[in-house]
Chain A
Amino acid sequence: MSFTRLPVLRHGLMLRHENILSDSAMQQRIQAVRQLMRARKVTTLMACSDAARSGPVCYLTDYPCFDPGRRAAAVLSLEEGPFLFTAEPSRNLPRVRRFTACDVEGRRRFLHEACERAKRLSGAGPIGRVGFDNLPGDLLKETEKLAGSEREDLSPDFAALLAAKDDSSLQATRRALQDAQEGMALLGRELGAGKSLWQVAAEVDYRLRLLGCEDTNILLGCATGGRVRPGYPPHLCPQRGEIVAAYVAVQYARHWAGVGRTFVVESASNDLQGKIRTLEEVRRILAAQVKAGMTLQEVKNSILESGAKAGVLLEPDVPLAAGIGFDLLEYPMKGEDCVPKNTVLQIALAAQVDAVSAMHVDLLHVTGGESCVWLSGTE
């Protein structure tokens, strides 16, 4: 239950969806990581995750850090593993086995135990580290077990590997997006029915939970004019003619997808809706411009150019593009980050169109071909 990025505990359906992530798909992921390890000449890899950056461990084990206080580590050697280490109490293990791809190995001092395993597996060889920069100082001390081993930071390479989505990740993303779109459609129908935005969000959250999603992120905002941004849903009933900015994100099978739309409540004027749709023209132009291999800054520049071609001045407070997947915000997220083939970017466009604040969020699949594909179609 979440209207914000992270709830205190995710508690939608938490299952390993084997129709999406089969054993062979899991093996392909592990092989891809081992290939990276060989290229970087490390014999063992140790990845750390937390709830805000759950990708590395989740990629290797399907274990999400579902609670802000519950960190995890995974260890993989060229021959063995992955091994999962979390602080999960023993009594939870029968249930944890329902949603992970490997068993939980260490529980008491999970990080310490993960380091011991990494050290043992590496022999005298170098150990690749992923996500260690995000460890707070007190936890970093627990990794002193690794002292003496040659260590290599593989975080950027690993992030790029995750960003280039495999078939199972793309399948999960599409399913999450399908649910998010369904949620957005429901939201549109609920607006103007005399409900507060809070109640609308509650209803959408409920329906999405029944569809089996793991988590939701529903942000809503409304105003009569000016800059309208989605936010924590207020206890306000939107009035006829008011503009509502809505963002609905859904997590399914560990993958997030989000859509953003602008509504005019009970608008009698198709003219207003038409103006809001101007942003869709930007999308059409943009799909042909973005190419795999660009940096994220180049993608952002393309967005601004596409806006200019469509005659739209995009507003600067909304982040134009970033990666989305295991986390709502993931690689590529910095201007210098390279966008690999099969990245899914969340593109957010916001503009004043004839004094109406319009916002559009969609997912762009960077296919590696001539043109990218909007996963949400062209509606």
Chain B
Amino acid sequence: MPPTRGKAWTFGDHINTEAIMASGKEENREWMKDHVLEYYDPEFPKKVQPGDFIVAGRNFGASSGRPAGEILKAKGVRAILCESAGTVFYRNTWNMGLPVLECPGIRAKVEKGDELEADIEEGTIKISKTGEVLRAQETPWILLDIYRQNGMLGWIQSRRRKYRTLEQSGGNKAHSPLDRWKQQGSMPPSSGEISSRWERIRERMARENLDGFLVLSSQLKKDPVHYVANYTLLGERACFYLPAAAEPVLFISEAWDQARAAQETHLNEVRVLRADWPSDIASAVGASPRRLGIAGKEILGHREAAALEAALGRELISATRLLEDLAAIKSAHELDRIRAAAQMADAGFLGALEAAQEGMTDYELAAEIDHVMREMGATDNFLMIAVGQQNTGMLLPCGEKIQVGDLLLFEITPAYGAGTYSAQLCKTAIFGESPSPLLAEKYALLVASLQKSLAVIKPGVAMREVARIQNEIIGQAGYAAYCRPPYMRVRGHGFGLGRFEFDEDSSLVFAEGMSLVVHPNQFIPETGYLALGESIIVTAEGIERLTTTDSRIYPVGR
């Protein structure tokens, strides 16, 4: 929200809620508005203007839990700027969508009628007559989030809208694929989506003089067949055959999954592979294709690969790169899936922050993240986590319990439908404490690296430039040695089929329609490993940022 200007109404210390909002007339809201704060300043209820500020001394809103903020908000007060606030009043008033900034020293510097400019998000207050900018104490992120949604009620509704995708409250208003996803929890591809992929593959086949195209998937790499057939692999393997002109065929290894496969793919022909599966594929392909391209052969064991080649009786032309290149540039449908995945990642992270408690284990925290995202429709997750102080990196949960002062590191990567449709969020939180000045200073390096490197991304820019900017900023702070393996590996990457990754040696170039994560995650000796990264889509002009949570250290459990 942008900064706003208004006049100051000044008050002293210990202004209690009974004095702000007299008792006995609670049901008469208009009467309350006409008399609010008149005990301290009779002019106030008559002359306060929408957008004005209250500037007060210590313990503003002391005493009871009366909803005094509601009346002040109704009068149009933009914010309460005080030395300190009563604790119940403070939280209640934020919940009502009226910000309360605690800014020690403010009362002495502001007089009634002074013009002020306040930036609630940044926590700054500028006194126009002197130009002095005061910095308020840090506001917990959750209160700012509530403020953005105009109060707790709006915040809950927004979370339902955003994160509870199976809720049916949207009625029939949904139009976009994302809206439908929010209602139904799934986003099936349109009938034209998969066939347009076949068209693009066939165009490339024609250029490379291929008569047929085989795509293989196994449990170790499920994305290729999902990309060409929309089949979620359950069994050991699947194979998809796309002839140059005829109908394609899907082969799966589990007979019991045949009906589901036919339903999921809408293909006319879904066959079940027998133990001698290379022969099954060879008989379907037949003798006519002279030049047969194959994607995914490298995932086969060498004996299986040899058996397939022998059964097909001809040299197989590797076409893995062909398929990966096509998949690296996403269609509108794919980008919608990735946007949905990014929303899941944000929600999973916020879910973790809400759930985190002292003594909770890392695997319980991981379960909370998974649960939030799973309910939204996430089909998988690449999740790495660390709980502790002086972490060297993130990996799997190992039973570590959360303690005060621990850093909580997250790399959350929900997939939506297939690994190709993933978005990643790298975040750092601190439990039970505010970030120390040292930690804040080091994390600022990561924030600057992220912001500056994102600013250069657009089609045609070399990916190594992003890595170079990040390494330069972190390196200039004295950590160049930690910008290389084994401390750091890559500064960003794509996902699933068409995955790429980049460091300073990369020769890759950004192109419109790519999706990726950019993450200046960094080991710093004084603080341990710190995580920061967000997902983007490369657009014609630059980037679309998919991550909506802020780039900051999140204090939790306070």
Contacts and interface: CB of A to CB of B under 8 A. Distances in A.
* Co-assembled chains A and B: yes
A221 B398 CA distance: 33
A91 B419 contact: no
Interface residues of A, number: 64
Nearest to B305: A137
Interface stretch (A158-166, A196-204, A277-285): A196-204
Interface stretch (B13-21, B281-289, B381-389): B381-389
Given A13-B363, A231-B234, A3 B379 contact: yes
B380 A8 contact: yes
B526 to A, nearest CB: 16
Nearest to B485: A89
Interface in B450-481: none
A219 B392 contact: no
A199 B299 CA distance: 33
Contacts of A36: none
Nearest to B257: A231
B220 A6 contact: yes
A15 interface: yes
Contacts of B255: 316-318
A235 B260 contact: no
B370 interface: yes
B402 to A, nearest CB: 15
B165 to A, nearest CB: 10
A156 B115 CA distance: 84
Interface stretch (A19-27, A94-102, A121-129, A181-189): A94-102
Contacts of B257: 229, 231
Contacts of B185: 196, 198, 235
Contacts of A31: none
B166 interface: yes
Interface stretch (A75-83, A205-213, A300-308): A205-213
A199 B166 contact: yes
A317 B302 contact: no
B552 interface: no
Contacts of A94: 392
Chain A facing B: main interface SS: loop
A246 interface: no
A10 interface: yes
Contacts of A68: 219-221
A13 B219 contact: no
A288 interface: no
Nearest to B299: A136
Contacts of B368: 206
A368 interface: no
Interface of A: 1-15, 50-52, 66, 68-69, 89-96, 98-99, 107, 133-138, 140, 196, 198-199, 201-203, 205-206, 209-210, 212, 219, 221, 227, 229, 231-232, 235, 316-319, 329, 334, 350
Given A96-B395, A137-B302, 18 more contacts: A9-B383, A11-B370, A11-B385, A14-B395, A14-B398, A68-B219, A68-B221, A136-B302, A136-B305, A201-B374, A205-B374, A209-B363, A212-B363, A221-B260, A231-B234, A235-B185, A329-B236, A350-B256
Interface of B: 166, 184-186, 218-222, 232-236, 255-260, 264, 275, 298-303, 305, 361, 363-364, 366-368, 370-371, 373-375, 377-386, 392-393, 395-399, 413, 415, 419, 485-487, 489, 523, 529
